[in-house]
Amino acid sequence: MDFKELISHSKILQSLVEQGLTIPTPIQAQAIPKILQGADVRASAQTGTGKTAAYLLPALSRIADADASGNKNKLKGPKVLILVPTRELAMQVAKEASKFSKHLPQVSTVCIYGGAPYPTQNRDLSRPYEILVATPGRLMDHMERGRISLARLEMLILDEADRMLDMGFVGPVEEIAAATPASRQTLLFSATFNKNVIRLSEKLLKNPIEICIKADNVQADNIEQRMHHVDDLQHKYKLLDHFLLDEGLVQTIVFTATKRQADQLTDCLLDKGHEAAALHGDMNQRQRERTIEKLRRGGYRILVATDVAARGIDIKSISHVINFDMPNNAEDYVHRIGRTGRAGKSGVALSLVSPKDRHLIREIEQFIGLKVNSVVIPGMEPKARGGREQDSFPRRSPSGPFRRKSSAGNFRRR
């Protein structure tokens, strides 16, 4: 199957060809026909599966169909509303919408999110547009000020619904949905169907068709996953130092549990001469955008980030993901490692697993349907083994481990 069997509009197909996209992914192949038929859809798909195109392409087709038929709705406001949990994902989705609609001059996309200046967004909203990509909080602000009407909305799309609920957006999402026409088509995409996601979908969707793309079909082929058991924080620093000497590491995202630790680890890496930057929620929007853009241009080799800040980053040159701290759950693990192996490239995901994390490994392996290889670096073996046979990799000569100097988080080389 290719996109010609799914999409009939030549101008949309032209944009796909220009981007080198000819064969749909499983989520695209299953979701696009159902969405084009007008059905409400509830879909489970991990990051990196092409889910954005799975809803954008039929949304654009719907807009193009209406324009071709001369069915012009004179009301103001968006025809398609895409709700996302974070500003990074909002910018990514808006960018994809612009790419796919490149040859549809009548289609304009507006993107609004918190942390950006209101005057710029007010100007964008005052012009005609068909697609609105928004975070719930900022959209509610504009609606309360009377700057956005959802009266002509035809399609409501919730992307990463599980993350929106985790971030406490269930109330705003329900309020926004209540302000849309009852005749709308509703699509919900989520990494997993937990009880809260199911409950929300039952409120907002009408007789939905459910599509589920298993995680093991997503991550197994192009991302090599390895875990390294560690005894303590000092052991983590030694292993991280070793990983960063890998000549195959083009760019990496190193995940930490807290914003403070992201800053501390970044300072330590900078002191050692690495091209590194931090990314977390305490940075303002301009700082975050500048950091991501510099990473995209190759100005940084290492990005040290927290989960929320790295959500939605789509940079094809990320060759490695390193879990310096393990995430809270299996879904976040899949989102993290999905930052590598983009656009069909291969990637490597390395996890530093302390004794308290071993229950999480079992949860992750069950979730993705794979056993993650446990690897030991000769000379850096853990004192307490992980309880399973481990592979050995040849040791490189590290430039020296990190040593913690004080509880304030200042580090120096041994």
Phi (first) and psi of residue 226, to 5 degrees: -135, 150
Render pLDDT for 179-214 as a digit per residue (tens, 0 to 9): 999 999 999 999 878 888 999 999 999 999 999 886
Dihedral of alpha carbons 122, 126, 130, 136, sign: positive
Q: Residue 167's pLDDT band (boundaries 50, 70, 90)? A: confident
Render pLDDT for 90-107 as a digit per residue (tens, 0 to 9): 998 999 999 999 999 889
Q: Residue 88's pLDDT band (boundaries 50, 70, 90)? A: confident
DSSP per residue over 97-116, as a string? HHHHTTT-TT--EEEE-TTS
> Which tokens in the block code for residue 134?
């928004």
Q: Is the pLDDT score of 410 beyond 60?
A: no
Q: Beta 185-190 vs 155-158: how paired, if at all?
A: parallel
Q: Cα torsion for 361, 366, 371, 376, to the nearest 10°?
A: 0
Confidence at residue 149, expressed as pLDDT on a 0 to 100 scale = 94
Q: Residue 70's pLDDT band (boundaries 50, 70, 90)? A: low
SS3 403: strand
User: How many residues in the chain?
Assistant: 414
More confident residue, 400 or 29: 29
The C-alpha atoms of residue 321 and residue 100 are separated, in whole angstroms, by 28
Confidence at residue 68, expressed as pLDDT on a 0 to 100 scale = 60
Q: Tell me what percent of the residues of the chain surpass a pLDDT of 90.
A: 62
Confidence at residue 288, expressed as pLDDT on a 0 to 100 scale = 84
More confident residue, 18 or 389: 18
Q: Residue 391's pLDDT band (boundaries 50, 70, 90)? A: very low
- Start-end of H helices in 46-86: 51-68
Name residue, tokens 């000569």.
397
Type and span of the H or E element at 266: helix 259-271
Render pLDDT for 206-240 as a digit per residue (tens, 0 to 9): 999 999 886 544 445 689 999 999 999 999 999 99
Q: Is the pLDDT score of 12 beyond 70?
A: yes
Confidence at residue 311, expressed as pLDDT on a 0 to 100 scale = 67
**Mean pLDDT along residues 135-163:** 95
What's the predicted TM-score (pTM) here? 0.67
Confidence at residue 303, expressed as pLDDT on a 0 to 100 scale = 96
CB 349 within 8 A of CB 223: yes
Confidence at residue 213, expressed as pLDDT on a 0 to 100 scale = 82
Render pLDDT for 272-323 as a digit per residue (tens, 0 to 9): 999 999 998 788 777 888 999 999 999 999 999 998 766 668 888 999 999 9
**Within a 10 A sphere around the Cβ of 271, how many other Cβ atoms?**
14
Phi (first) and psi of residue 401, to 5 degrees: -75, 165
Confidence at residue 42, expressed as pLDDT on a 0 to 100 scale = 96
Confidence at residue 272, expressed as pLDDT on a 0 to 100 scale = 92
Output the average pLDDT for the chain. Answer: 86
The C-alpha atoms of residue 19 and residue 402 are separated, in whole angstroms, by 43
The structural domains of the chain, ordered by start, are: 3-213 (3.40.50.300), 219-413 (3.40.50.300)
Q: Is the pLDDT score of 58 beyond 90?
A: yes
DSSP per residue over 314-365, as a string? --TT--EEEESS--SSHHHHHHHHTTSSGGG--EEEEEEE-GGGHHHHHHHH
Render pLDDT for 235-273 as a digit per residue (tens, 0 to 9): 999 999 999 999 899 999 999 999 999 999 999 999 999
Confidence at residue 412, expressed as pLDDT on a 0 to 100 scale = 33
Q: Is the pLDDT score of 165 beyond 80?
A: yes
Q: Residue 10's pLDDT band (boundaries 50, 70, 90)? A: very high
Report DSSP state, residue 252.
Answer: E
For residues 283-303, b (16+ Cβ closer than 10 Å) or e, as one string?
beeeebbebbeebbeeebbbb
**Mean pLDDT along residues 336-343:** 85
Q: Residue 387's pLDDT band (boundaries 50, 70, 90)? A: very low
DSSP per residue over 211-251, as a string? EE--THHHHTTTEEEEEEE-SSHHHHHHHHHHHTT-TT---
Confidence at residue 79, expressed as pLDDT on a 0 to 100 scale = 96
Confidence at residue 189, expressed as pLDDT on a 0 to 100 scale = 95
Confidence at residue 392, expressed as pLDDT on a 0 to 100 scale = 41
Confidence at residue 399, expressed as pLDDT on a 0 to 100 scale = 38
Confidence at residue 71, expressed as pLDDT on a 0 to 100 scale = 55
> Which tokens in the block code for residue 296?
């995209």
